[in-house]
Amino acid sequence: MLQVMSKKVLIVEDNELNMKLFRDLLEAHGYETVQTREGLKALDMAREHKPDLILMDIQLPEVSGLDVTKWIKNDDALSEIPVVAVTAFAMKGDEERIRQGGCEGYMSKPITVTTFIETVRKFLG
Amino acid sequence: MRFLENAFFGLAGRALHAAWIGLCLFAFMTAPAPISSWIIAGFAVAVVPGVIGLFLAGSRLPRSDLARLFLALVWILPGICAALAYGAALSPAALIFLAGPSVLAASVNAAQGRMAAVLSALAFVLCVLAGVPGPLTTGAQALLATPEIWAAFAGFLALAGLVARTRLERRLSRLERTVRETASAAEAFARAPSPLMALDKDGTIQAASRAIRRIVPGAPNELNGLPADGLGFDEDAQDAVRQGLTSASEGGPADGGCFAFDVRDRDGSAQTVDARAVATPDGYVLTLERQSSTLVKGQTPAVISDDLARLEAERDAAIAANRSKSEFLAAVSHELRTPLNAIIGFSDMMKQRIFGPLPARYAEYGDLIHESGTHLLDLIGDVLDMSKIEADRYELDTEVFDARDVVEISSKMLRLRAEEKDIALYTEVGETPLMVEADRKALRQILLNLLSNAVKFTPEGGAVVAMVQAQGDALVLAVGDSGVGIKAEELEGVGKAWNQTDSARTSSERGSGLGLSLVQALAELHGGTMGVQSTPDEGTTVTVSLPVMLEAVVEPMGADATLEVHQRIKAAQSLGEELQTGTGA
């Protein structure tokens, strides 16, 4: 039996419940997940696990998700990994600001299951 | 009569001068043979002003006084020539001297009219002096004897006179109006409840309100013509008034012209008077007010600037409070969305049975949690939008789109909720595209709010109709329902922010009280209006009119949108009843 390597998603999210929601949703759809609650650890996790996609919360306790994204995009080994922002900043202009910050995708919280999975599939096929 | 004023320019001017040329030609053609060179010369001279007038009137030259003066002087030319040629300055030909001044009288200001008259007279005198008496040639006699020429000339003078009269009358009526206005202004000034004086540049009273006697009890009845600083004031007061006027005319700081002085009351006691002088083009306006006891003489300007500083500080604080309010709301929105993500997300997973089937009861609970979460999210959005609008921070993001799409999408979003309550939801969007330039999100919000209100407050089996049409440059959206309606005394409060009607409060349905106020605010942001028509227990129709059509649509006016919606609802209801009886039978 051929074991297909499942795609790996790194979730950077400081809220426990939201982390669980994204993890359960992704795993239910056959994705493997790695998680961190701290933006500062996200870079190390990305280097270590080489995920296929990063879901990035923007408002993190110590460092902004946008800064973390910038580090990732400046790292030659990681810059190819798509970053999708998942944020409760849903005010006018937020999406534009976040996309300019280097994120390839944007989802506003609260998410709906359908759009969440569609967005993830768009990047992971 | 305005066209007469322009009789010498524009179309009328062209026609007039062309007619003159035509007349000259006619006279020339009908002149008896033989045609002498005098006749040709006479014709040439006569025709010149016509040609020049035709050119000036027809060209796009500014209708400047200079152009008019030039034309008038040209009109003097035939007179001079005729007089010189025929040596008959005292003959009827001299009448032509009147042409120039009459043209000017009709169209130019008085000074230039006078100048033309003087030039004309001068030319006349010169002609008389230089006059070479001699017999007129037969041709010239014949030309002068042509009745058409004189008839035309008389008509010309009559027209000029008429125009001059019109101008004079208009001027007279303007003057009359000015006099009337001045009289009523003077009367108002005299009756003004505050002690007021209008002074000329020397400080002489031109007008005073009767209230001035409150301040200066011994003042004579007729104040006009008296010096303001001499109203029975002592020397200090006179100095103060003079200095105050000087400081007002120098226009210094905002409190320039503020001063205070003492006057003697009837009982001889000193009363401090606050005065403020403002410079006007012709002099000053001086206001006097008895000083309140807390103020000290000579300190008024400082007190006023203190007040100003305090008011400014208060205003800044209010602005800051408003800003921090919207920042607070943005933070609240963020904080609320984070747990809502879990609520809506997990219940959505239950709804979609991602991990397999659920017992029916739990499935229902999951749906309810999801629905409530979504509702809460809508409310947060409304509250936030309303706050932004109130803080003037809502920016419209306009684009061009077909308004019908928004109506279709919005009603599709509400269709499920309507079906659950067995409410018939109809949309009427017409067949022609309704291209508008507006904020698509705002328009959708307007429709969603109206539709969800309508569905919410319509009992089971009712009907909701959404219509959209163009009326001139306005896009008219109307949403009507057969719901509970709004009481007349509550209609007034509808649209005011944070206001919820009693019926909405007592209803089992939830509402933030923001739905309609948000609709109204969004409509007003687009420069539009919202109207509500409601009859309790019959239904409500809300009409929103937005001046956003890309191209004004001129259609045979359909019936009033509200009325039309009403009729549709009636029709929809009776159809629904029929269907029900149908199925029941």
3-state secondary structure B116-138: HHHHHHHHHHHHHHHCCCCCCCH
What's the gap in Å between the CA of A25 and the closest CA on chain B? 8
State residue A2 phi and psi, 5-degree precision.
Answer: -85, 120
The mean per-residue pLDDT over the stretch B328-346 comes to: 85
Q: What percentage of chain B reaches a pLDDT higher than 70?
A: 68
Cβ neighbours for B479, distance < 8 A, ≥ 6 positions apart: B447, B450, B451, B453, B454, B464, B465, B466, B467, B541, B542, B565
B346 CB within 8 Å of a chain A CB: yes
Q: Which helix (H) or strand (E) holds B417?
A: helix B403-420
Parallel/antiparallel/unpaired status of strands A8-12 and A32-36: parallel
Q: Between chains, do A21 and B352 touch, taking CB under 8 Å as contact?
A: no
C-alpha B367/C-alpha B281 separation (Å) is 76
State residue B421 phi and psi, 5-degree precision.
Answer: -95, 10
| Residue from the list A59, A110, A114 with its beta carbon closest to the beta carbon of B340 | A110
C-alpha B446/C-alpha B376 separation (Å) is 18
C-alpha B31/C-alpha B43 separation (Å) is 10
| pLDDT-based confidence at residue B153 (cuts at 50, 70, 90) | low
Higher pLDDT, B151 or B198: B198
Q: Which among A104, A40, A95, A26 is positioned nearest to A71, based on CA atoms?
A: A40
Torsion of CA B241, B245, B248, B252, to 10 degrees: -80
**Which tokens go with A84?**
């999708």
What is the predicted pLDDT for the residue at B9? 60
Residue type, B319: I
The pTM of this model reads: 0.45
User: If interface means Cβ-Cβ distance under 8 Å, which residues of chain A face chain B?
Assistant: 15, 17-18, 20-21, 24-25, 28, 59, 88-92, 108-114, 116
CA A81 to mean position of chain CA atoms: 10
Higher pLDDT, A75 or B321: A75
Q: Where are the beta strands (DSSP E) in B424-528?
A: 424-428, 435-439, 463-471, 474-481
pLDDT digits (tens, 9 = 90+) for B289-312: 876 544 444 445 556 677 778 888
Q: Between chains, do A110 and B344 touch, taking CB under 8 Å as contact?
A: yes
Q: Are A40 and A61 in contact (CB under 8 A)?
A: no
Is it true that the peptide bond before B217 is cis, omega within 30 degrees of 0? no
Residue with tokens 């007592």, as numbered in its chain:
B506
Picking from A18, A22, A27, A55 by the largest number of B CB atoms within 10 A of its own CB, the best residue to mutate is A18
C-alpha B200/C-alpha B422 separation (Å) is 80
What is the predicted pLDDT for the residue at A11? 96
Measure Cα distances from B304 to B215, B288, B291, B301, B315 in Å.
21, 15, 13, 5, 16
| pLDDT-based confidence at residue B555 (cuts at 50, 70, 90) | low
Q: Which among B202, B210, B224, B228 is positioned nearest to B282, based on CA atoms?
A: B202
Q: Is the pLDDT of residue B584 over 50?
A: no
What is the predicted pLDDT for the residue at B149? 63
What's the gap in Å between the CA of B200 and the closest CA on chain A? 59
Q: Which range, A1-10, B118-127, B514-523, has the best average confidence (pLDDT)?
A: B514-523
Q: Between chains, do A15 and B338 touch, taking CB under 8 Å as contact?
A: yes
Higher pLDDT, B402 or B321: B402
Q: Is the pLDDT of residue B267 over 60?
A: yes
Q: Which range, B210-219, B252-261, B406-415, B558-567, has the best average confidence (pLDDT)?
A: B406-415
Q: Between chains, do B349 and A24 touch, taking CB under 8 Å as contact?
A: yes
B344 CB within 8 Å of a chain A CB: yes
What is the predicted pLDDT for the residue at B557? 52
pLDDT digits (tens, 9 = 90+) for B82-139: 655 555 444 555 555 566 555 555 555 556 666 666 766 666 666 556 544 444 555 5
| pLDDT-based confidence at residue B242 (cuts at 50, 70, 90) | confident
What is the predicted pLDDT for the residue at B511? 54
Residue type, B160: A
What's the gap in Å between the CA of A76 and the closest CA on chain B? 33
Q: Is the pLDDT of residue B80 over 70?
A: no
What is the predicted pLDDT for the residue at A84? 95
To 10 degrees, what angle do helices B99-107 and B147-191 make? Answer: 30
| Residue from the list A88, A92, A114 with its beta carbon closest to the beta carbon of B341 | A88
pLDDT digits (tens, 9 = 90+) for B361-396: 999 999 989 988 988 888 888 888 887 787 777 788
Q: Is the pLDDT of residue B492 over 80?
A: no
Q: Are B482 and B538 in contact (CB under 8 A)?
A: yes
Sequential DSSP letters for B311-369: HHHHHHHHHHHHHHHHHHHHHHHHHHHHHHHHHHHHHHHHHTTTTS---HHHHHHHHHH
| pLDDT-based confidence at residue B321 (cuts at 50, 70, 90) | confident
| Residue from the list B337, B349, B351 with its beta carbon closest to the beta carbon of A109 | B337
> What end-to-end distance do the CA atoms of chain A give, in Å?
22
Q: Between chains, do B346 and A113 touch, taking CB under 8 Å as contact?
A: no
Instruction: Give just the sign of the alpha carbon dihedral B423, B567, B469, B454.
Output: negative
C-alpha B243/C-alpha B554 separation (Å) is 66
What is the predicted pLDDT for the residue at B1? 39
Q: Are B63 and B13 in contact (CB under 8 A)?
A: no
Measure Cα distances from B482 to B138, B465, B535 in Å.
98, 9, 9
Q: Which among B131, B128, B19, B112 is positioned nearest to B72, based on CA atoms?
A: B112
Q: Are B398 and B437 in contact (CB under 8 A)?
A: yes
Q: Which among B13, B3, B2, B11 is positioned nearest to B156, based on CA atoms?
A: B13
C-alpha A59/C-alpha A66 separation (Å) is 9
State residue A103 phi and psi, 5-degree precision.
Answer: -75, 135
**Which tokens go with B574?**
């009776």
| Residue from the list B334, B335, B345 with its beta carbon closest to the beta carbon of A111 | B345
Q: Is the pLDDT of residue B566 over 80?
A: no
**Which tokens go with A113?**
């299951």
What is the predicted pLDDT for the residue at B99? 60
Residues of A in contact with B346 (CB under 8 A): 21
Closest chain B residue by Cα to residue A59: B334
B340 CB within 8 Å of a chain A CB: yes
Q: Between chains, do A113 and B354 touch, taking CB under 8 Å as contact?
A: yes
pLDDT digits (tens, 9 = 90+) for B181-223: 888 888 888 888 888 888 888 888 888 888 887 777 667 777 7
Higher pLDDT, A21 or B124: A21
What's the gap in Å between the CA of A22 and the closest CA on chain B? 9
CA A63 to mean position of chain CA atoms: 15
Q: Which among B269, B288, B268, B151 is positioned nearest to B212, based on CA atoms?
A: B288
Higher pLDDT, B9 or B512: B9
Burial string for B476-494 (b: 16+ CB within 10 Å, else e) reads bbbbbbbbbbbeeebeeeb
B334 CB within 8 Å of a chain A CB: yes
B203 CB within 8 Å of a chain A CB: no
Q: Is the pLDDT of residue A2 over 50?
A: no
| Residue from the list B339, B352, B395 with its beta carbon closest to the beta carbon of A113 | B352
What is the predicted pLDDT for the residue at B124? 63
To 10 degrees, what angle do helices B300-351 and A113-124 make? Answer: 80
User: Which residues is B543 bridged to in the sheet?
Assistant: B478, B531
Mean pLDDT, chain B, rounded, equals 75
Residues of A in contact with B349 (CB under 8 A): 21, 24-25, 28, 113
ipTM score? 0.82
C-alpha B458/C-alpha B573 separation (Å) is 12
Q: Between chains, do A24 and B342 touch, taking CB under 8 Å as contact?
A: no
What's the gap in Å between the CA of A77 and the closest CA on chain B? 32
CA A75 to mean position of chain CA atoms: 17
The mean per-residue pLDDT over the stretch B569-584 comes to: 56
Residues of B in contact with A116 (CB under 8 A): 345
CA A92 to mean position of chain CA atoms: 21
| pLDDT-based confidence at residue B5 (cuts at 50, 70, 90) | very low
